[in-house]
Structure 1
Amino acid sequence: MGLSNNIWASPADYLRNHAPEHPVLFFSPEILQANAHRFLSGFPGFVTYAVKANPDEAVLQNLVNAGICGFDVASPVEIDTIARLAPHAAMHYNNPVRSRSEIKHAVKAGVKSYSVDSRSELEKLGELVPSEGVEIAVRFKLPVDGAAYNFGAKFGATVDLARDLVMRAQALGFTVSLTFHPGTQCTDPAAWASYIHAAAGIGRDTGVRINRLNVGGGFPSHRLNDVIPQLDATFALIDRVTDEAFGADRPALVCEPGRALVAESYALATRVRAIRDDAHVFINDGIYGALSELHLVGVIDRIDAFGPEAQLRTGDPVLRTVFGPTCDSTDKLPSEIGFPCDMQEEDHVIFYGVGAYSVATATRFNGFGNLTVEIVQSQTCALRALAA
């Protein structure tokens, strides 16, 4: 997956000069840095980037340039990448389950923050990690609505277990913090409020002063035209509720956005391979490629269709089923999308806001998945403004 040295004004500008047969990702460093500045100026605490969302080195370097100096790392590879690109950045090893060799690797790399959600993993850390100056963030979970899917199905201690882990971490000599994840693409700010109040309760019940509260990722990106994320309102709620819940014992706040930082900086151009019987649209990318997470999180309906010479299609939308290019019948987007009625075969369809879990998870299954990356100044379609 190569990164072009050319800089295009927009995806449409590229399409006016090319008619690519393979999918193309368009990356805007300007948008990425603007999103980083929004978090850095708006979130009332320390901002770390979840590397797993998009580990491309161009992304990481632009985030460092924008002022991000903390990273949520989940593997030795991510640890080594950040150590090389940002040697002075803080690394939070927040994958709650690690092998002994992975822990030793992190210690050698100077990692000073770990999350844990089980007694066995805490004892392993106690055995292998020197406690002085090291933070253990106990990860807990609650039943929460409003997220695309529930992270608590795999990770997170119950509140009762979290109390025990907090007291044990303190007994082992670690600096004690708490962390949670409200669930991916969480559009309900009240989810954070519930967790923050529960975290304050854990602190009161144990008598342990919580050093930091990591409010996780989960911050949503803009996927649907009719659902615009309210990030600033969520930041304000987190700040207010932390004051209310903790009072004078308020911990420092940390967040670890991935999707909300990087998604908007990428768009994906796909080509229409066929329109079958005016009902089914076949495109040259799908759930085995850069659209891999759509079957988990839901469809993106922020699209544009372009004909020859990047002519914007403006026909009334018609709902159609969308299939990817492979011969696997599961290669199907989870719901219909409204395509312009004048869209034709060989047109290009651009999906906006696909920077998270696209580059990182795309495969070459069935001989497809040949992605290239082009740099653009903006993802905005100027022709759409003219047509409106």
Structure 2
Amino acid sequence: MTPVSYFPHQNNEMYVEGIAIRDIAKQVQTPFYCYSSSAIEASYQDYQNAFSDQDALICYAVKANSNQAVLTTLAKLGSGADVVSMGEIHRAISAGIPANKIVYSGVAKTQDEITYALSLGIFQFNVESEPELELISKVATSLNTTAAVAFRINPDVCAQTHAKISTGKAENKFGIPISKARLAYKQAAALPGIKVQGVDVHIGSQLTSLAPFKEAYQRIAELVIELRADGHDISVVDVGGGLGITYLDEVIPSKQTYADMVKAQLAHLNCKIILEPGRSLLGNAGTLVSTVVFVKTGEERQFLMLDAGMNDLIRPSMYEAYHQIIAVNKGTKSLKTYDVVGPVCETGDTFAKARAVHESDAGDLIAIMSCGAYGAVMSSSYNTRMLAPEVMVKGEQFAVVRKRPSYEDIINQDVTPDWL
């Protein structure tokens, strides 16, 4: 799916499913996030179909987009959830995802979080360290229950992606080094309240090649065989997420090709497969719609100054991420080169430099594409800017699924002490 598959232009006007973006903007005001329900459903069903001949559970990575409407859409399709906090567990349960389809990842789970997850009966803890394992054992024993666990194994495989979203190298903070895995599993088997059931791996995000996955899964398969020889009953392999999307012209392996590779590397183990897609489900299902405030002519370049800023979409500032930037109404104007920037008081508040966009004037609408994942969830009210609302479209209807707060909502979160 490309960035514009669900946001096509008809007679030069951008649509999402059966609604013109301009019509939504008239009612909601910019900036706002807009999601296609059909795009989310289609991406999920692609995974479902691709893994239909395997014993697989799709656990959506909630961190990619945690809006309740998104989670409810996926819950109704049968999705589980990969969570990294107590808050994400609350969100998943509230959206109707059953606890026995929740896997709990994250490097610093607290006692309260572990207690809550155990009380619900989640499917599995993906354990990141030996101290975490000991705490899970302690909490499970105190509750007279058993925690099903898989160690997250760091296979020391280069994901060939951006350094800030690569998680499977030896220098990364995630997981147990594969060289220490057998010792860690031996420790787990000796602890009370622990049921060793799986192995977990996740090497990074926005992967565009299957080669790193294949290398990691080969190492995991060898490890499973070794662990079984050591007496551990390994019945689950969590292959993580990380399959990329097309932001510009990247060629991404199909979900079927990915599923075939997983089967080729792991089927002989006869394990249940857990997969944790996030970006590849939501990324191209969403856009950030903004309005041109000014067109400014500088000494060396022209600036397209938008009402959306880095507080709304931080990926370009944080990751040097590329997002297509498209005029909502292309009209008959030709392309022109701009630096596309926001209103935040930071030089880093830049979406693109020297980018060709259809010539625009103040008041024109601009769509920043591929924002369904890691957009709204990473936003903030920096500069006391109101969070952009989120809109979901299905067919010819839309709803605001997270409203824009008022300034009073933001300010009233603060408390002035009596002694001031």
TM-score by length of 2: 0.78
CA distance 1:314–1:72, shift in 2 (3 Å): farther
> Which of 314, 321, 324 is residue 302 of structure 1 equivalent to?
324
User: 2 CA distance for matches of 1:302 and 1:334?
Assistant: 9
Q: Encode CA deviations 1:337-374: one digit per residue, 9 max, x unaligned.
A: 3212x222321111222111222121121133442233
2:9 paired with 1:9? no
Counterpart code for 2:327: A
Q: Encode CA deviations 1:59-100: one digit per residue, 9 max, x unaligned.
A: 1111112221x1112222222232233263421111132111
Partner of residue 215, structure 1: 239
Name the stretch that deviates more: 48-57 or 144-153.
Answer: 144-153
1:238-249 alignment to 2 at 5 Å? 238-243=262-267, 247=268, 249=269
Counterpart code for 1:252: K
User: 1 CA distance for matches of 2:308 and 2:275?
Assistant: 32
> Which of 186, 194, 197 is residue 207 of structure 2 equivalent to?
186
- SS at 1:124 equivalent: helix
Please say if residues 27 and 376 of structure 1, whose CA atoms lie closer than 8 Å, have aligned partners that are also in contact: yes
1:308-327 alignment to 2 at 5 Å? 311-313=329-331, 315-327=333-345
Partner of residue 362, structure 1: 379
CA distance 1:87–1:39, shift in 2 (3 Å): closer
> Which of 255, 280, 285 is residue 308 of structure 2 equivalent to?
285
> Which of 140, 159, 166 is residue 153 of structure 2 equivalent to?
140
Q: Encode CA deviations 1:251-289: one digit per residue, 9 max, x unaligned.
A: 221111111112222221111222322532221213211
User: 2 CA distance for matches of 1:164 and 1:319?
Assistant: 57
CA distance 1:375–1:11, shift in 2 (3 Å): farther
Partner of residue 72, structure 2: 61
CA distance 1:371–1:198, shift in 2 (3 Å): same
User: 1 CA distance for matches of 2:325 and 2:37?
Assistant: 20
Counterpart code for 1:222: T
User: 2 CA distance for matches of 1:75 and 1:193?
Assistant: 29
Residue 192 of structure 1 and its aligned partner are, at CA, apart by 1.0
CA distance 1:227–1:239, shift in 2 (3 Å): same
User: 2 CA distance for matches of 1:275 and 1:164?
Assistant: 61
Residue 316 of structure 1 and its aligned partner are, at CA, apart by 4.8
For structure 1, the 5+ residue unaligned runs are 1-6, 380-388
Residue 27 of structure 1 and its aligned partner are, at CA, apart by 2.0
Counterpart code for 1:292: I
User: 1 CA distance for matches of 2:276 and 2:161?
Assistant: 16
1:1-388 alignment to 2 at 5 Å? 9-14=18-23, 18=26, 22-43=30-51, 44=54, 45-68=56-79, 70-86=80-96, 88-89=98-99, 90-130=101-141, 134-141=147-154, 142-148=156-162, 149-152=165-168, 153-172=172-191, 173-206=194-227, 207=229, 208-228=232-252, 230-243=254-267, 247=268, 249-277=269-297, 278-289=301-312, 291-306=313-328, 311-313=329-331, 315-333=333-351, 336-340=354-358, 342-377=359-394
- SS at 1:18 equivalent: helix
User: 2 CA distance for matches of 1:123 and 1:327?
Assistant: 46
- The two structures, once aligned, show a CA RMSD in angstroms of 2.6
Counterpart code for 1:53: A
For structure 2, the 5+ residue unaligned runs are 1-15, 397-420
Q: Encode CA deviations 1:190-220: one digit per residue, 9 max, x unaligned.
A: 1111111111222233324431111111121
- SS at 1:263 equivalent: helix
Please say if residues 61 and 85 of structure 1, whose CA atoms lie closer than 8 Å, have aligned partners that are also in contact: yes
User: 2 CA distance for matches of 1:209 and 1:191?
Assistant: 27
Please say if residues 283 and 324 of structure 1, whose CA atoms lie closer than 8 Å, have aligned partners that are also in contact: yes
User: 1 CA distance for matches of 2:288 and 2:281?
Assistant: 17
Please say if residues 96 and 114 of structure 1, whose CA atoms lie closer than 8 Å, have aligned partners that are also in contact: no
TM-score by length of 1: 0.84
Counterpart code for 1:355: G
